[in-house]
Amino acid sequence: MAAVNGESFSNQSLSHKSRWTDTFSVHQSFPTVLVIDDDPEVAELVGCFLTREEFRPVLALSGKAGVRLARSLLPSLILCDVSMPDTDGLKVIEALGCDPATAHIPIVLMSGHDAASLDGSGASAFLQKPFHMSEMVHVVRRLLNPCPALEYAT
């Protein structure tokens, strides 16, 4: 795992070793999803479900680390908590949206607040906490594959 200026952001940075840590490196070809959440339990749970659905999660436990990691990894998609102490999700969207290298990356905001309060945030989608993991996976798949193959009637 990489480190960004000594800040914790990976699955190995959690207070206990995750069950999916060992499978993380095996699936390098899966789409990378950066999970930015200051709650390590939420980040690990989201990462675990993403792994089960054949995504490659990378965890950032702060907004600042998430922005730096997004710029270095260029993930396929970002799941980002709104309320974080150092750099909130809206500032993450602003920082990455101003950078031509990261402006194209879809960002899904996760929050316990009402989605209406986040209108105009620049997020690609919104998940209201608590959410069902199947809902999260559906949103991730929809954003990563916006034009699924057309099915023709025979």
Give, for all 154 residues of the chain, the pLDDT tens digit. Answer: 333 333 433 443 443 444 444 444 445 678 999 999 999 999 999 999 999 999 999 999 999 999 999 999 999 999 999 999 989 999 999 999 999 999 999 999 998 877 666 666 789 999 998 899 999 999 999 999 876 655 555 5
Q: Is residue 63 part of a domain?
A: yes
Q: Is residue 1 part of a domain?
A: no
Domain count of the fold of the chain: 1
Structural domain harbouring 42: 11-144
Q: Is residue 154 part of a domain?
A: no
From residue 56, alpha-carbon distances to 11, 32, 34, 130 in Å are 11, 5, 8, 22
Q: Is residue 51 part of a domain?
A: yes
What pLDDT, on a 0 to 100 scale, did the predictor assign at position 112? 84
What pLDDT, on a 0 to 100 scale, did the predictor assign at position 82? 93
What pLDDT, on a 0 to 100 scale, did the predictor assign at position 117? 65
Q: Is residue 70 part of a domain?
A: yes
Q: Is residue 3 part of a domain?
A: no
CATH of residue 85's domain is: 3.40.50.2300
Q: Is residue 4 part of a domain?
A: no
Q: Is residue 119 part of a domain?
A: yes
